[in-house]
Structure formats: structure tokens, C-alpha cells
A = this chain, B = another copy of it.
Amino acid sequence: MNSFCQKAHWKFRRMNEMEANQFREFGKEMIDYVAGYLENIRDRRVLPTVEPGYLRPLIPETAPEKPDKWEDIMKDIERVVMPGVTHWHSPRFHAYYPTANSYPAIVADILSGAIACIGFTWISSPACTELEVVMMDWLGKMLALPEPFLACSGGKGGGVIQGTASEATLVALLGAKARAICTGKAEHPEMSDADIVAKLVGYTSSQSHSSVERAGLLGGIKLRSLQPDDSNKLTGEILEKAVQEDIEAGLIPFYAVCTLGTTSSCTFDNLEEMGPVCNQYNIWLHIDAAYAGSAFICPEYRYLMKGIERADSFNFNPHKWLLINFDCSAMWLKDPSWLVNAFNVDPLYLKHEQQGSAPDYRHWQIPLGRRFRALKIWFVLRLYGIENLQAHIRKQIAMAHHFEALVRSDERFEITQEVTMGLVCFRLTGSNEMNEQFLKRLNGKGVIHLVPSKIRDTYFLRLAICSKQTEMSDIDVSWKEVKETADEILAKK
């Protein structure tokens, strides 16, 4: 080693020795900070008032040459970061859908960060793969998924943690594409892969999530966005009509997405009708239950997933409503071999002797690398228990119904969609423009935060129950804010 390296070596070594003790202090200080942040989150303005570009002037233009102190970073959290945070875990936050946040998941992530294995193959960290296989079974059993989806059934099926529902939709589409190419070539040996792909057509509802459309764009596949029925549900009849049209036009129907709980209005497509159509025409049926899927841990909501046994893949996001921090999107496949075979690139440095006797999850997903995310499922399911998780879902739905009742009690408002889960869609009776002004004023005051949606040219407001800390009294605060803002808008008018 030359003297330059000697010097580098020495410097770094000294740093390492300081680190473990610093970490004990710094880590514990952060634990206290975040406990305090979450306990007192009601006191913060839910939506920040900063303008684009606010942050750059608050910090240096370049990284420091020499280390800062961790105490300085702690101080900068309130000075630099918090003024620009939208507080998703405030009980005043009613936008989009919930994203999960729980103490057990945060602690599990500390362990995951320390082990910091990359679980792309079984051998790269057997515990990472094996705990995931079993946790996906635990979760699947909690939802009463049919046996063929579970690894413990001993069949082909099993679950995997994806990053997001968008990736699950894309992965399912790619599996469906691989299957369709295989079937197409068996029936028409004269056709090339490209010929077949050009004829493939998939189906989704115009009410499905934007990521479904995006999966079609990314996969380079025609996806038809079908107009749902008057209650905004995709039905078997609508699907079958489209399929028949396309077959007559010489196309190959291969993939359909059934949404259980749309983003706009938490509407449930008619799975029970769509399944038989898909099975009849050999169409891969993927179920996107990103938000609402968590509710299926309560038996009384399982009527909404009736017909699931006919699906090829099912996905929901525990990182939305089941208190497991992002990213944790649970996906089950009846036959993952379509994926494994389609994307199997197998360099020597990733081969190992146990190949085939346990899943190598890298074949089940878009990225190669993956964190040890099963730990947070394990911690959350154990530290809440099924009972408390069910109570959480039931309580949030009860609060949505409480808000619904308040809206219904005021004749200036209307409920625009049936309230089934933790989302209330409502509007002032009147024009879209008035409702746009209403929402702008409401969000502008910064006490609560909602986003709008629009179905068939009707603009409405979406109030989602998001924070796990939300209590009935918080809903009363939100309603008071809605009501007073309506008073102001209507008085102005």
C-alpha cells in the first residue's frame, strides 16, 4: 500500500470507530423525534405553503467536504424539510388514498436496513425469500384467497412483494403477453412473435387507475379502455361485447384488469361476471384491489371479491391500508412460470445450487435488486394481530359513514357515489365551477386537504379517511371546515 492509500485507510478507519456509538445516540434521538412528530401531527398545517424552488436557497450548493454533525441535521429537519412536507398522516389529510405508516413497520425497516441484503436469489439471503413466501401465505389466508394462489397449497401458485400496484399490473400484463405469444404460436406456427404482439388487445375500465393505461404504454400493447355501466362498474356483458368485436376484427384478446375499488370513487367492477368471460376466451384476468383489498381481511367485505377464484393474478397494497409502510404491494399469481420463463436471463454470477427448490424472486419482478421487505409484514401482523387490523379497517369505514351521514344531513350537498369503504365522494349541488371554487378555497385554508375527481363530466370532492390516528372528533373537525367553507362560497354567490 502506498502512502496515499495508507492515509485514506487511516482516515476512514477512525471514522468507523466513531460511528457505532454516534449511531446509538443519533438513532435514538430520531426515534424520539418521529414519535413526537406523529403524536403531535394534528398541530401542523396539513398542506405546506411553500412555493416551487423553496428549498434550494435553504441549504448549501454542494455537499460538504468535511462531515457535519448529526445534531446539525436534527436541527435542519424543522428548518428545511418540515416546511415543505404534506402531512399524509395527519387526521386532516383526506387526499388520494391512505398510505400506511406504523411503528412496527418503521422498526422492521431498521433491521432490514442493517441486514441490507439483496434478495434476488434464494442463496443471496435465504431468510429474505423464505420469510416472504410464508408472509404472503399469512396475508393470503387473512384475505381468504383461494388455495391455488398460496405457496402452502403445494401447487405452482404463490405470492410476491412488488414495489407498487403499477408494477404488479405491468408484471401481470407481461405474464399475459408471454402466455398469449405461446398460445398464439401453437395455434399459428407461421406467425412471428411480433405478428402476434401486434394483434394482442387487453381490456380495462375507463375508471381504472392511470397506471393500467401506463402499463399498456410501457408494454407496447393495445389496451382498450371500456366505458363502464351507469353505476361505473365494468360488467361481463360490456367485456364480452368488446372481446367479440375484437375477435371479429382479427385481434387476440389476452388480458383484462378488474378493479376492486377504483381510485376515483372506490367502485367495484363486477368480478363475478368478468371471470367467466375471461376464462372462456383464455384471457388473463388480473385484479387490482390496491386500496380496497385490505378490507377483505374482514369477512363481511369478502362479498366484494366474489369470483376471485377465476382470476390469474391478484394484487392489493398493504402499504395503503394495512399499516405496512411503502413499499409493499402484495401480488399473487396462480402460475408464475409465465413470468419466470419470459424474463429469465441467467448469468453465471446469479446461479446457485438450490435453483428450482425455492423461488428466485428476481424473475417475478421488473428490477433485479430487492430489499428484505417481508420483515415489516411479519412485524406488523404480529404486533397488531388480525383482530386489531380488522378493527382498524372497520373503524375507518365507520368514520367514512359518519362523514357521509353529516353530508346527507345538509341539503346543500349530495353524495355522488355509494360509500362502501373509507372514501366519501360528495359535492355541492350545483355547477362544476362552483365545486372547483369550493375545493380551492377549502384546500387554501390549509386545515384539511382533499383532491377532486370527475366522472362523466361531474366534478366532485373525494374525502378519504387516511391517518390511522383519525378519530370521530377529527371527522367532526373536517366536516365543520367543509360546512363553513360552503357557507362562504354560497354567501359569495
Contact = CB atoms under 8 A, between A and B. Distances in A.
Contacts of A109: 109-110, 113
A419 to B, nearest CB: 14
Given A55-B130, A86-B124, A64 B398 contact: no
A142 B62 CA distance: 8
A77 B114 CA distance: 13
A395 interface: yes
A210 to B, nearest CB: 4
Copy number in the complex reads 2
A92 interface: no
Interface stretch (A24-32, A228-236, A247-255, A301-309): A24-32
A99 interface: yes
Contacts of A371: 326-327
Sorting the interface of chain A by its residue count into under 10, 10 to 19, 20 to 34 or 35 or more gives 35 or more
Given A16-B469, A368-B166, A110 B9 contact: no
Interface stretch (A34-42, A330-338, A481-489): A34-42
Given A63-B382, A110-B106, A382-B63, A117 B99 contact: yes
A386 interface: yes
B65 A386 contact: yes
Interface string A435-466: 00000000000000001111000010010000
Given A101-B116, A210-B350, A220-B220, A86 B395 contact: no
Interface string A212-243: 01100111100000000000000000000000
A170 B174 CA distance: 14
A451 B59 contact: no
Nearest to A135: B63
A186 interface: no
A369 interface: yes
B366 A170 contact: yes
Interface string A178-222: 000000000000000010011000000000001101100111100
Interface string A77-121: 100111111111100000110011101111101110111111000
Given A63-B382, A163-B369, 13 more contacts: A12-B392, A27-B28, A27-B103, A27-B106, A54-B126, A55-B130, A67-B383, A106-B113, A166-B367, A197-B220, A348-B452, A349-B452, A366-B366
